[in-house]
Structure formats: structure tokens, C-alpha cells
Chains A and B, each alone.
Chain A
């Protein structure tokens, strides 16, 4: 695909670019970045907009294969580009789980066929995500996975997790942990604190996350493995990751927009769209996450997009499944809530996610795949969940107002999404 992205503010912190320029794309590849092109290719006018390397959401549940009534690779990919993401990492807890190369192949080929966003599958760490024996990590790597995780099910066996950290080094892939001690969290449905006590709901203590982060950092040091903390949610976990980075460990961490935008007070009316795992934490934890985002302890913002069919969310709070959708609100929440310098925002959504996952990087340089996210920092907009491109509607952000939006998404030189005011 050919395209001239004209007159935008081109920002790529990795390549130290921040200037008004035109980006010429031919056959899906960036050919040049310069000024005053007049060419025969179609023009995308980016005047007043920011042209950034394509955003990459490294924590997404696409539900295919197995739960297509909630989401498919096609609908999830469509929601991704509508949220400004040119790429997503698809978690392996499908049905069957992505624990062998044939499932990986299926996801990769279905994504090529139907998804407007690029999809990088994450492979399971253990067969069937059962936490018993290693999955065929090498074969899945050759089929196209970008990392491994038993997301949703922490690897409780420390010896097995040690092996995973060691083995994944062969492929330079991250081992991504959903940090939760399942004995401490058993039966819990929200953060353990004043609100859980008042509401009479069983709590998930911060310690259930922190004990596993602590254990895993010890193992990461021992193995020199590449360790990534998924959806980090507590002050204690932020502090441990900060300290581990200072010691030079190969550790990275992501937070979700809902964990820095909402506290456990949001559960007050037993709203099942405030039920997720890890749960919404206390105001003090939220403050610590925002500090961690600002000081660089946190590497990435990832949505943990977790669509569920409405029938499952219209249940008693105890019985409803964990998770909310997030692809279309992530960038708006970050722009509205965090007040970050644009360079930092692009690091969190694009540069660092590419560094964490095992992918060929892209950006604003000649020869790169032309995957671009176009931002309008002044766009005021309101999220209407009924207009969502996801197949599910489980978002707590319906009706929220945002300032700043990804107004276009370009994948391989093709305008995959555009929202002109």
C-alpha cells in the first residue's frame, strides 16, 4: 500500500525524532521521512496531529478459538485499530489453549485473514496451562509466538517457573507472569480492604500478587531469565520491580488503564464491570502505579482486554467472570488521566512493548513496516460502549469523557481506522 502521511508531528523517541515531516510509504514500507513531498500516492493529512510508531497492546484476550460469542480475532483486531493499536499480543487462554504450534498457526493465519491489526500470539508456559509440564515452547516460537505466559493461571510451582525462565532464554522470549498466589486469593472477588469488608465480598489481598512477584524476581536473578510482570497492581509490587531494575535484572512490567484510573470504590454498587483480576486496588496503590509510570519503573500500558458475553456479566457479583474490555479506551484513559510528555506516552505504548516482546521492531525509520498511530491530543470525545467494535460490552467506562484520542491507525501503509472529527 502506498500513502503519504503529510505534515504531521513525527515523534519516535527510539530514533530521536520529533519534528514536522511527511512520511512516504510505498508497498507498506516507510521509504522516506522528509519535507515537501509531492507525489502520486494518496495523501493522509496529518496537520496538527502526532504521527507515532504503531501502538502495541501486549495483553489482549481475543477469545478465539473457543469463545467466539465473546470475541473473535476479527472483532478484537477491529477494536484494536479503533483504539489506536496496530498490533496486539493475544494471550493463550483460549479453548483449547495456545499450548502447541497448531493452535499458534491457526491464530497467525486467521489474523492474517481477518484482523486489521497485527496479532502476535503468546504461547502457554505449560501444557494445557495446567502448571504441570512445559509446553512445546520452541515449536510455538517457530510458529510465531512472541512470549510465553499461563495468563490467568499463575505458575505456582517455583521449580517449573525456574525451568521456564531458563528455557525461554534460548529464544530470547519474555516469560510473562500473572502474579497471584492462588491460595491467598482463593474465593476472592475484589481487593481485600475496607470496601470488601463493607460489601461483604471475599478479598484478594495485595500480598497474593506481591508474594509471587517477590519469588519470581529471586528466580529471575538466579536464571538471568527475561521476566515480565503482567498487569501489576499494588504498591509493594511496584517497589519490588523498581528495586530489581536498580540491581540490573532483566525485568519489565505493565499496568492496565483501569488499575490507574479506578479504585476498589468502583465496586460499591456491585457493578460486575468493576470485577477483574487483579482487582481494582486502593487509592494508595493507584498513586504508586502512577508514580511507577512516571519514573520508568513501569514499562508499558496494556489493556488486559477481556471480553465476556453479557449473559455472564449479568450475574451475581460472586458468579460473574473477571475482566473488562479495554482496547478502545486505553489510549484515551492514558492521555486524560496521566498528563505524560508525549515521548513518554509513546514509549509506554509502542517502544517498550516492542522491546519486551520478541518481535521485529517498527518505527519511524526508512525500511520499517509502515505501522503508525495518529494521535489528536485535543480531541474531546465520549466512549459509547454500544458503538464498540468488540463483540462484548463489559466496560466500566461507558459515558466517560476523554481528551485525546488515537484518531487514525495505519497498518502496513493501509488506513485501518480513521475518525475525522
Chain B
């Protein structure tokens, strides 16, 4: 069991806690291969998915994870919630607490919203992605996938390419991988590279590198992780056009060749084919994008179990 009420980010998790989650996920992976994909572990527990931002895969993944553990899962999305009626996040949280929810998975466009919630609820809070801050379960499922394929989390060259500035996935992965002694190479146009990115990890800063050159970061990489580009960034002049973006930061098959022969190519989804990643790469032999999705269920089962079980 984790000795904490909430899972708000990777930054404050220890290596031991991360390994405990990944090991537990290994044992839950098997459940999803059974004909009857259900165990009674969390029977009688209530998990609420509180999604203030559109999401299909994360929400569905948490829902399936909860249901495979026999928890009662309730989904609330912003279109159906009282947020549209002007209720504050805090009142929503207190209401859910009063209904004796055991866990609230929250996704919110405002960084820190889960932290605000966690201070006010008895229920465990799981950060399902907050603004440009953290997306801890994504980093955990990425780590699960990497460990599964590479057999380790240390001494890897991991390239994270794309809109680093607005990416919670990049931040959570940077925290996680540097904790284990892998080198993280962040790659973006200068407009999409936030100030002080090399100093966001409190320890192990020597494992964070950054570059504006995709070729430099992909060269000899063990893992290449592509980030989704949001088209509305174009209007804010972060880059001039989709075409020019793909020219410099799109992962083509030829560029992927520069990586190690056993490279794995990852994407947190949803992908923009032809913008940050070419279709032949996304569907190619190095791609582990669907492995990530299935790991997501196992990792979220582990997180729910370790916070709520027992």
C-alpha cells in the first residue's frame, strides 16, 4: 500500500513507490487476459472520474481499471457536471465527499486543481492530468512500457519531442526517468521550450538535456517519445504552420533510423498523424503506442489498489 492519501504528481514520489506501482501493475496485467476480467479487490469502493477536460482514453482507462477491480465507477464530465451551472471546484469536491466517494480522479485544465481538491477532501485524489503540470499515471504507464521492453529504467537515452512547454506528459516523464538515472533529452522549437526546463527536477538535474534539433536527440536514442501538438498554438505564433512544424519536428521513418536499432517509439495519444509523427512510424515495427494503452489499464488498477485497497 502507498503511504499517501493522494497521487498528485511524480515529482514527490520516491523510486520505491514508483517500483511498487509498476510491480503491482505487472501482477494486474494478467487480469486483463482472463476470460472474466474482474477481481473483487475493490468491491464496495466508489471511484469518481471527474473530468473537466475532454478525454477519451484516460477516462476510459480509469473506468475499466476501476471496474476490473469491482469498484463502482461514476463518470462526471464537465458537460454534465454542475460546473456549467457555476458551482466551484471546491463545492463540487465537498459534494462528492459528502456522498462518501473513496477516490476522485480529476482532470482539469488548471494546473494545481487536484492539489486544491486534495486539501479539501477525505477522498483520495488521483491527478488524471492538470494543465501543463503533471500527468502521473501517464508517466507510470510509460515507465511500465519502457521497463517491459528494455528491462530497465536506468541508463537510457530518452528523447521527448514536441510541445514541451505545454506538456504535462513531458514534465511527469522527466521527473520519473531522471529519478532512475536515465538521460532525458527534451526537444522543441525555442518557442515551445519553457525557461528553466533543465532545472525542474530538484535532484538529478544532470540527467536533463535540451536541444532544438530533432536529429541530435534521436541519435542513438533508446526511447523516442513524441508529444501531441495542439493546432491552436499556431494562432499564438509558437510555430508558423503545420507543414513547417512537421519539417523540423515531425518523426519520419528516415529520422527514426538514426536511433538505436531496438528503439521504441511512444506517443501518449491522441496522435496527429502527419503533424508530429508519420503514419509509417506510428504503425511501424518500433511503435509501442498500443502497448502503452494496455499498460495504462494495469497501471491505473495498481494505483487504485495501492491507494484504496486494504
Contact = CB atoms under 8 A, between A and B. Distances in A.
Nearest to A315: B88
B134 interface: yes
A201 B195 contact: no
B195 A319 contact: no
A199 B197 contact: no
Contacts of B171: 198, 200
B54 interface: no
B32 to A, nearest CB: 31
B130 interface: yes
A197 B109 CA distance: 15
B132 interface: yes
Contacts of A192: 195
B196 interface: yes
A317 interface: yes
Given A200-B131, A200-B133, A200-B134, A317 B197 contact: no
Interface string B287-306: 00000000000000000000
B200 interface: yes
Contact of A314 (B90, B108, B130, B132): B90
Contacts of B196: 193-194, 197-198
Contact of A199 (B88, B90, B109, B111): B111
A4 B11 CA distance: 61
Interface residues of B, number: 25
B115 interface: yes
Interface string A304-315: 000000010011
B96 to A, nearest CB: 16
Contacts of A318: 109-111, 131
A193 B195 contact: yes
Interface in B98-115: 108-113, 115
Contact of A194 (B11, B116, B195): B195
Interface in A21-70: none
A199 B108 contact: no
Nearest to B165: A197
B168 interface: yes
Contact of B111 (A193, A314, A315, A317): A317
B270 interface: no
A193 B196 CA distance: 6
B168 to A, nearest CB: 6
- Please name the 9 residue pairs, one residue from A and one from B, whose CB atoms are nearest each other, closest first: A270-B112, A200-B133, A200-B132, A194-B196, A316-B110, A200-B111, A318-B110, A197-B194, A198-B200
Interface of A: 192-194, 196-203, 269-270, 311, 314-319
Interface of B: 11, 88-90, 108-113, 115-116, 130-134, 168, 171, 194-197, 199-200
